[in-house]
Structure 1
C-alpha cells in the first residue's frame, strides 16, 4: 500500500468517527428539544392551574370567614 493510500484510509476512518459522533449529538439534541417541548406544556398547565386558584382565592377575599373562626 502506498503512503498516499494509507493517508486516504486514515482520513476515511476519521470521517467515519466524526459522522458517528455527529449522528449521536444530533439524536441528543432532538431528544432535548422534545423534553423542552414537554416541559413548556407542563409549565403552561401549571400556570393555568395557578391562575385559576388565584382567581378563586381573590373571589373569596370579600367573603366573611366561616363561623368556626
Structure 2
C-alpha cells in the first residue's frame, strides 16, 4: 500500500510541476508578445510648453480679481 501512495504523490508532483511550467511559459509568451507589439512613437526634441503655468490668468492680480 505504501508504494501506491508514493506513486500517487509522484504523479501529483509531476502534474503540479507541469502546470507551473505551462503557466510560466504562457505568461512569458504573453509578456514577450505585448512587449514586441507595443509601438512607440518617434521622439523629437522640442521646447517644453506649460500652458497652465504661462497663462496670464494665474497672475496674483487675476486670482484676486483686482483690476490693474
Q: Give the TM bin, normalised by the shorter chain.
A: 0.5 to 0.7
Match among 47, 51, 68 for residue 67 of structure 1: 47
Poorly superposed stretches of 4+, deviation over 4 Å: none
> Aligned residues, how many?
48
**TM-score, normalized by length of structure 2?**
0.58
Separation in 2, partners of 1:46, 1:66: 32
> Tell me, which stretches of 5 or more residues in structure 2 are unaligned?
49-68
1:17 to partner: Cα distance: 0.8
Residue matched to 1:8: none
Q: Which has the higher helix share?
A: 1
2:5 counterpart SS class: helix
1:25 to partner: Cα distance: 0.9
Separation in 1, partners of 2:21, 2:10: 16
Gap change, CA 1:33 and 1:19, over 3 Å in 2: same
Larger radius of gyration: 2
Report the aligned-residue RMSD: 1.6
